[in-house]
Amino acid sequence: MNFTEKLRKTQHTQNSLLCIGLDTDIKKIPKHLLKAENPQLEFNKIVIEATKDLVCAYKLNLAFYEEYGVKGWDTIEKTLELIPEGIITIADGKRGDIGNTAEKQASALLHKLNFTSATISPYMGFDAIEPFTASQQKGAFVLCVTSNSGAKDFQHLKISGKPLYEHVAIKSKKWNTNQNIGLVVGATRISELKKIRHIAPEMPFLIPGVGAQKGDLEQSVKYGCTNEGDLALINIGRSIIYVSMQRIFDNKVREAAEYYSHTINYYRKKYYSIV
């Protein structure tokens, strides 16, 4: 089973397109957790336990863990052990370097830590991406159109009559011989999302930017899904994991995750023929 098939199976089994971003900032978690031996891990454990039946994926922004050196890497490893088998895991480190370096990056994230997939910068071309796609069971989400304000500095530059992000989408589709390459397309870029889905109708899309960044959830579902109403991962982080600072906060986290999961499915039913 290749990565895209695995993702599709997980989304159908879980009946969810929701991806929760575990971008765990110690400065933002409930204060009583700071007394724990590992506050990040304890927080992640509570969030995962409260939401694991509502998601298709968890995305860990590696920078929030790398800041703490060896302890941070240990937290990543132990967090991954808490995530149920079958749920997609995404190492959001935006890797991508010359071939032999990329091989080490891919080995660390996809094999030693055993993430299901990773985010990759396409700037250095195919040899920076290839090690992440060597195994059909592992996935690579290539940065295409990101949700940050500086995205237009390069991603919209015209080359041979097309913006750079279109070239990235076209190349990624060509490289996708193992059916394990996806694209990162921000929910704040709906017109671009619509265009890229037309270019790559059957590739997975990781869609950040809903929630704190004010991306359009309905339009992200409408234009981000395939014709089967799947293969879009709607990533939401802060609006779920930091919804409460109370000592007992898992119920609030679950309520927020339920809201987004159910709303996403409402839009799926509205625009696609799903049960």
Distance CA 260, CA 267 (A): 11
Could you tell me which residues are beta bridge partners of residue 60? 91
| Residue 94 is a catalytic residue | yes
Q: What is the DSSP letter of 133?
A: H
Query: Which candidate, 234, 248, 272, places its Cα nearest to that of 14?
Result: 234
Helices (H), 134-216: 164-175, 190-199
Residue 44's Cα: distance from chain center in Å? 16
Distance CA 124, CA 80 (A): 29
Question: Which one of the listed residues 45, 52, 78, 94 is annotated catalytic?
Answer: 94
| Helices and strands: H and E segment counts in the chain | 11, 10
Residue 131 CB partners (closer than 8 Å, separation 6+)? 99, 102, 103, 105, 106, 107
Neighbours of 225 (CB within 10 A): 24
Strand runs labelled E in the chain: 18-21, 57-61, 88-95, 117-120, 139-145, 158-159, 162-163, 181-185, 205-207, 232-236
Distances (CA, A) of 89 to 83, 174, 224, 263: 8, 24, 19, 22
Pairing of strands 117-120, 88-95: parallel
Cβ atoms of 193 and 221 within 8 Å: the answer is no
Q: Which residues are catalytic, by number?
A: 94
